[in-house]
Chains A and B, each alone.
Chain A
């Protein structure tokens, strides 16, 4: 009788030992890089932290498959000083049966962010070997920002060109008007002077062109 009790008590752990082993078909290897992620605030990996990990995975499985998973359904083995280990998930209905690898992968991927946050790690420091992280698409603003800068620069340059051209044209016009006025004044002044002498000014000898053109 005692033998049978011992046998049944040992069965789960024996079964567990058999179900969870390195390179298990339905298992995943997990690597944590706690010191890289947290530096001085790194926590010690111990039984309690492992319990938290198991709880997180149980949460992910329950959330994804809509079944009630318990912490005891998540089996962890082969821990190393690296802080890496293997884990397998047993079915809540039948502890001797493992949940398929694909389901576990999908569950983990779906709640990856949550699991990361629980353990204060990220995709790079909490590595599920074989499970690709879902990559966040780089943020793309509606107008590429370089167009905005370009718009500012070309606006300033364009305004500058227009301003300089217009000022050149205005200056030229002003000069032409001044010269024309000076010439007119000369002619008129001379005509007035000669008119005062009761004669008509004979313009044929007027020196409109001081220098003979070459």
Chain B
């Protein structure tokens, strides 16, 4: 969860947090999918000492496509991920005001009342959808570039660039800060959150598991796919990082430590998050009741403070008996604490809507807002390191880059290109595109890449060779748990998840929630279907990254076939002493 508090993975926290029962699919995914993959990637990176492209080419030329697929996925993910970081930056910039800008509704055009969009939904929603995103009603309506988002995105890319400018050296130092700071802030939040009223409601909710949630296949799929984001496996970044490790580093211990720390941080982080959600639910519930109290007090002219939160129920029953007609005619809200606890926005909404609303109620809101967004920023930054490394190292290994180009300039070019393409996400419909990328780039391609990786190492590279490598590095061979996972459990599990995902997706045409002020049920989001051309883009996003795997495999098959057939045809050649041929081939390999 080093990355798990960041907005896409905040979903995991929320799901975790919506029901302790989510812990079970998450743990199963971690133990049988996440840890084996993590150990595998760390081990081959450390042993073969190359980035993802070199490693897979080395294991087998047929698997060369896996590295390219990882690079493409990393590139696509880094584009939309940095948009989320740009959003975090925008909120961070805006947290230095008193009062916080999302606490009030702006006035409408003729200053007679508040803006209607803001009144129907909340000021927090309004600030997110209108003042931050300026969102359009439909993904087809692109709107224009929002200049404030563009400069926030530019800032985000500049920060990434400055961390990568010196390559692994500068980034290594930056990681110290970005990895430790979130823990500090989480602890501060934990202490603060536990002292808030209503925190106990939230914690009780967390620890009472709702077993119904396990019956939904979507939950299992989410757990399986989010583990990739959480541990950052199948992106190629891990292989690149571990290639810098010492050759005899104990990567088994590293894998276990990273994996378990990740999950522990998830749990640790969910406690303050949940306490704050409980506090928010309790506050909303109290506000709801107080509104009802005011309505009733005004209508029946009861003296002030006679009806309070404590005796509301008795008063209500009494009035219902004596004046049932009146009660029915009054616009009383139904206030249910469980209802408020169940509410949570999905995905990016959690950080930017739910949390910002909670922060408003806490005394000293500016401080908490600033702390929270700096923490999100550093978490997002540490994820981006893995992604960008997963793009830069393969680029250098593919020899697409001329040697005279210095590393700094290459990094600058990559950042610039990503920024320019990422301008799509700063359009009016940008949020819808982020959701598209988030849902589709981060699921199927990663599953397939992970499957190919495990199968490639376990069967093509050979379990024996791999065990020998690990023995060389750590001094002990992998035990039965690792072997069972690599050879059987993980591939089977990945296959099952993939098939289930395809089955689920094929069942229903994909839809998305649109923010439409003219919708009759506003402020609820309107469910719209993706237009055909967006559906085509979705399919492209899924297919293009993994296209390289079969293409490279077939290309190498054909090349091998041609070589073999040409060698057979010529037979022993008196003019060609193969001894020298083999030598030159080896010299070529060494010089590279």
B112 within 8 A of A: yes
Tell me the smallest distance from the CB of A119 to a CB of chain B, in Å. Answer: 15
Given contacts A146-B96, A164-B165, contact A83 B303 (CB under 8 A): yes
| A137 to B92 CA separation, bound complex (whole angstroms) | 24
Binds A, one of B103-111, B210-218, B387-395: B103-111
Given contacts A145-B96, A146-B93, A150-B155, contact A84 B165 (CB under 8 A): no
Inter-chain contacts of B305 with A (CB < 8 A): 35-36
Look across to chain B and name the residue whose beta carbon is closest to the beta carbon of A213. Answer: B591
Inter-chain contacts of B408 with A (CB < 8 A): 165, 168
| A154 to B89 CA separation, bound complex (whole angstroms) | 11
Tell me the smallest distance from the CB of A72 to a CB of chain B, in Å. Answer: 26
Given contacts A132-B113, A157-B159, A161-B161, contact A146 B301 (CB under 8 A): no
- B301 & A160 in contact (Cβ 8 Å cutoff): no
Inter-chain contacts of B152 with A (CB < 8 A): 150
Inter-chain contacts of B112 with A (CB < 8 A): 132, 135
Inter-chain contacts of A214 with B (CB < 8 A): 587, 591
Inter-chain contacts of A33 with B (CB < 8 A): 304
Look across to chain A and name the residue whose beta carbon is closest to the beta carbon of B90. Answer: A146
B249 within 8 A of A: no
B residues 348-368 in Cβ contact with A at 8 Å? none
A3 within 8 A of B: no
Inter-chain contacts of A80 with B (CB < 8 A): 301
User: From DSSP, what is the main secondary structure of chain B's interface residues?
Assistant: helix
- B155 & A82 in contact (Cβ 8 Å cutoff): no
Inter-chain contacts of B92 with A (CB < 8 A): 149
A100 within 8 A of B: no
- B155 & A154 in contact (Cβ 8 Å cutoff): yes
A residues 7-41 in Cβ contact with B at 8 Å? 31, 33-36
- A82 & B159 in contact (Cβ 8 Å cutoff): no
Contact with A along B142-180 (1 / 0, CB 8 A): 000000000110110011011001100010000000000
Inter-chain contacts of B300 with A (CB < 8 A): 82
- B159 & A150 in contact (Cβ 8 Å cutoff): no
- A135 & B113 in contact (Cβ 8 Å cutoff): yes
- A149 & B96 in contact (Cβ 8 Å cutoff): yes
A199 within 8 A of B: no
A153 within 8 A of B: yes
A158 within 8 A of B: yes
Look across to chain B and name the residue whose beta carbon is closest to the beta carbon of A85. Answer: B301
Tell me the smallest distance from the CB of B546 to a CB of chain A, in Å. Answer: 36
State the interface size on chain A (CB cutoff 8 A). Answer: 30
- B165 & A154 in contact (Cβ 8 Å cutoff): no
A138 within 8 A of B: yes
Q: Which of A35, A82, A83, A161 is in CB contact (< 8 Å) with B162? A: A161
- A164 & B166 in contact (Cβ 8 Å cutoff): yes
- A137 & B111 in contact (Cβ 8 Å cutoff): yes
Look across to chain B and name the residue whose beta carbon is closest to the beta carbon of A154. Answer: B155
Look across to chain A and name the residue whose beta carbon is closest to the beta carbon of B588. Answer: A214
Look across to chain B and name the residue whose beta carbon is closest to the beta carbon of A37. Answer: B304
A130 within 8 A of B: no
Inter-chain contacts of B104 with A (CB < 8 A): 138
A81 within 8 A of B: yes
| A84 to B154 CA separation, bound complex (whole angstroms) | 57
- A81 & B302 in contact (Cβ 8 Å cutoff): yes
| A146 to B102 CA separation, bound complex (whole angstroms) | 13
- B165 & A161 in contact (Cβ 8 Å cutoff): yes
Inter-chain contacts of A147 with B (CB < 8 A): 93
Tell me the smallest distance from the CB of A46 to a CB of chain B, in Å. Answer: 14
Q: Which of B97, B170, B303 is in CB contact (< 8 Å) with A82? A: B303
Given contacts A81-B303, A83-B304, A164-B166, contact A138 B159 (CB under 8 A): no
B94 within 8 A of A: yes
Inter-chain contacts of A158 with B (CB < 8 A): 158
- A82 & B301 in contact (Cβ 8 Å cutoff): yes
| A35 to B113 CA separation, bound complex (whole angstroms) | 27
- A135 & B301 in contact (Cβ 8 Å cutoff): no
Look across to chain A and name the residue whose beta carbon is closest to the beta carbon of B94. Answer: A146
Inter-chain contacts of B245 with A (CB < 8 A): none
Q: Which of B94, B162, B304 is in CB contact (< 8 Å) with A164? A: B162
B530 within 8 A of A: no
Inter-chain contacts of A149 with B (CB < 8 A): 92-93, 96
Q: Which residues of A contact B (CB under 8 A)?
A: 31, 33-36, 80-84, 132, 135, 137-138, 145-150, 153-154, 157-158, 160-161, 164-165, 168, 214
> Beyond the given A132-B112, A135-B107, could you list 19 further A-B residue pairs with CB under 8 A, ordered by the A residue number?
A31-B298, A36-B304, A82-B302, A82-B303, A135-B112, A137-B111, A145-B94, A146-B90, A146-B94, A150-B152, A154-B154, A160-B162, A161-B158, A161-B161, A161-B162, A164-B166, A164-B170, A168-B166, A168-B406
Q: Which residues of B contact A (CB under 8 A)?
A: 89-90, 92-94, 96-97, 104, 106-107, 111-114, 151-152, 154-155, 158-159, 161-162, 165-166, 170, 297-298, 300-305, 406, 408, 587, 591
